[in-house]
């Protein structure tokens, strides 16, 4: 089944891409929303991921099992590019003269939601990890990919996924203990 789907995708079958989108768009959205903490940016990441998937369809390996790791690999690259563009944008804005700012109530409203607070805390903890460890946590833990799928998505060996995941979990546990001590 997956091989026929891969062949259809490689051939540019729009119905196959529709099926691919229907099956995986929500998972890519959740992955992007967790990574960015912003629904709008996550929607953009989903759009760009599937646009890139269409553009890169000829590079999809005709052999293999699930197509999800390929999509998550594309999404990870889109997230990297989005973060890089955001950093450049912030740097450009920082060079502009300071003006009186109008308060942004969107962040305040988002901050009221308990889920947003949890996501912010998780993202803050993840921000303290290296980019490589953060990607492993996001794909294995948040997106639910197994070791092999994560390895395929990132183009690294399965053993590297396992060791990075173990190291990242240990660092997150250390951070949790430190945070609890500080909050006493």
User: By C-alpha distance, which of 50, 1, 52, 57 is closest to 28?
Assistant: 50
DSSP character for 61?
-
The residue length of the chain stands at 184
**Among the listed ranges 60-74, 94-108, 129-143, which one has the minimum average pLDDT value?**
94-108
Output the pTM of the full model: 0.66
Helical ranges in 13-113 per DSSP H: 14-36, 39-55, 68-94, 105-112
Statement: residue 37 has pLDDT above 80: yes
Statement: residue 15 has pLDDT above 60: yes
Statement: residue 113 has pLDDT above 60: no
16-25, 109-118, 127-136: which has the highest mean pLDDT?
Answer: 16-25
pLDDT of 5 reads 87
């Amino acid at each position: 089944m997956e091989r026929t789907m891969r062949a259809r995708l490689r051939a540019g079958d729009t119905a196959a891409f529709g099926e691919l989108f229907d099956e995986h768009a929500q998972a890519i959205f959740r992955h992007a929303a967790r990574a960015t903490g912003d629904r709008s940016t996550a929607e953009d990441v989903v759009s760009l991921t599937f646009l890139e998937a269409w553009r890169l369809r000829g590079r999809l390996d005709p052999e293999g099992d699930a197509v999800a790791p390929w999509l998550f690999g594309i999404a990870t690259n889109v997230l990297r590019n989005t973060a890089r563009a955001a950093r450049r944008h912030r740097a450009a804005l920082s060079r502009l003269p300071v003006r009186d700012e109008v308060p942004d109530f969107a962040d305040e409203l988002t901050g009221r939601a308990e889920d947003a607070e949890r996501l912010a805390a998780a993202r803050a903890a993840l921000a303290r990890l290296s980019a490589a460890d953060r990607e492993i946590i996001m794909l294995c833990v948040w997106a639910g990919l197994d070791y092999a799928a994560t390895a395929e998505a990132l183009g690294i060996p399965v053993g590297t996924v396992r060791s990075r995941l173990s190291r990242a979990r240990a660092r997150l546990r250390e951070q949790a203990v430190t945070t609890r001590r500080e909050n006493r």
